[in-house]
Amino acid sequence: MVAKVIDGNAVARLVRTECRQRAETLKARNIQPGLAVIMVGNNPASGVYVRNKVKACEEVGLRSELHHFHENTGQAQVLDVIDGLNRNPAIHGILIQLPLPPHIQVRTVLEAISRDKDVDGFHLYNVGGLVVGDTVFPPCTPYGVQRLLEHERIPIEGRNVVVVGASNIVGKPMALMLMQKNATVCICHAKTRDLAQFTILADILVAAAGVPGLIKHEVVKTGAVVIDVGINRLPGGGLVGDVDFDQVRQKASYITPVPGGVGPMTVTMLLCNTVGSAERFAGREGPRPASST
Ligand code: NAD
């Protein structure tokens, strides 16, 4: 068996086209979805991610604004800016680019974001919503994985899902989202003993550990769907996932490549969450006339 390689770039393009159409519908009501990105410090990787987010907004007709603070900026100043953005009706999504410098408490800053503008889905209110299967802001990376599975019409209900990685931003929300779809879910992490005894049972295996080559073909069930969330930079500069792509591809039914699999979906789902937030805002506002200018 040779797996079908899921083309994340192609699916991301389709979803972005949907987002653009939804943004145009809102424009007819004089509403342009707006995203505010807050970055503190000069982490080079964060700089790349932030630029990608701003560029992606432009591509689909969203307004974006970047609030880039110096490394030494105090927490109070960041909280002040969030407060202003919470009140700003032109902003429908606020995200904090992580990591933050150590003198800023991540939880305090995340909890300061209005739960109605929490497009990353990291506010405890939205985390709770995810647990009970009722959030409007699914965290972007697992949301992207779910969208890839839906696009490929891969059934989830009743299947064995193994998620390798238990972080708050990927592994845990991924497990909750697939449990909500009635999968039988197992979460593995760095302290799991004998990882293979779990992964070999997976009909759908999601690797999100950040360990290159962790998932080799002998730990994968024949015909499994293998989703590689990992992004690992090799010493030579190339990017690889957590899955031994060439070997596992010979055994799986579907597989995502790195790059070009889950990666392009993450920013795309951020756009979806921002547009969705603006649509809910429009619903609360009631009908507004289109601008005559
Ligand atoms: P993290 O470091 O916060 O969490 C990693 C998780 O993997 C932890 O739960 C840890 O216990 C587990 N783990 C580590 N080594 C393990 C091992 N040997 N066996 C089993 N479990 C192990 O990382 P994260 O933020 O969740 O990201 C995970 C990976 O996904 C990274 O490579 C990251 O770059 C990538 N990522 C990709 C995207 C994307 O858009 N594709 C988005 C976010 C993260």
CB 228 within 8 Å of CB 256: yes
- Ligand 1 binding pocket mutation candidate from 231, 239, 242, 269 (most atoms within 8 A of CB): 231
pLDDT for residue 288: 58
pLDDT value of position 233? 92
Atom number, ligand 1, closest to the C-alpha of residue 170? 26
Residues of the chain with CATH 3.40.50.10860: 28-127
In the chain, DSSP assigns E strands to 4-5, 34-40, 63-69, 93-96, 160-164, 184-188, 204-207, 225-228, 232-233, 239-240, 254-255
| Ligand 1 atom 9, closest CA | 166
Tell me the backbone φ, ψ of residue 217, rounded to 5 degrees. Answer: -65, -30
Tokens of 51: 């630029």
Look-up of token digits 């560029």 = 55
**Contact indicator for 274, 35 with CB cutoff of 8 Å:** yes
CA angle at 164 for the pair 250 and 94, rounded to the nearest 5°: 115
Please name the residue ranges forming H helices in 105-218.
106-112, 124-131, 140-151, 171-180, 196-199
Confidence at residue 291, expressed as pLDDT on a 0 to 100 scale: 46
Phi, psi of 290 (to 5 degrees): -70, 150
Residue 286 has a pLDDT of 63
Q: What is the CATH number of domain 140-263?
A: 3.40.50.720
Which residues belong to CATH 3.40.50.720 in the chain? 140-263
Q: Whose CA is nearest to atom 16 of ligand 1?
A: 190
Catalytic residue among 116, 120, 203, 242: 120
Residue owning the nearest CA to atom 3 of ligand 1: 167
Distance in Å from the first CA to the final CA of the chain: 59
Q: How far is CA 124 from CA 113, 168, 195, in A?
A: 10, 11, 30
Residues (pLDDT < 70) of the chain are 286-293
Q: How far is ligand 1, taken at its centre, from the CA of residue 77, in Å?
A: 31
Nearest to 221 by CA among 252, 192, 184: 252
pLDDT for 269 equals 98
Distance 69 CA to ligand 1 centre (A): 27
- The topology under which CATH files domain 28-127 is Rossmann fold (3.40.50)
CA distance 265 to 145: 7
pLDDT given at position 284: 83
What is the separation of C-alpha 291 from the centre of its chain, rounded to a whole number of angstroms?
A: 33
What is the distance between the alpha carbons of residues 9 and 4, in angstroms, rounded to a whole number?
Answer: 15
Digit-coded pLDDT (tens) for 82-102: 999 999 999 999 999 999 999
Per-residue pLDDT tens digits for 125-152: 999 999 999 999 999 999 999 999 999 9
Rounded distance from Cα 164 to ligand 1 centre (Å): 8
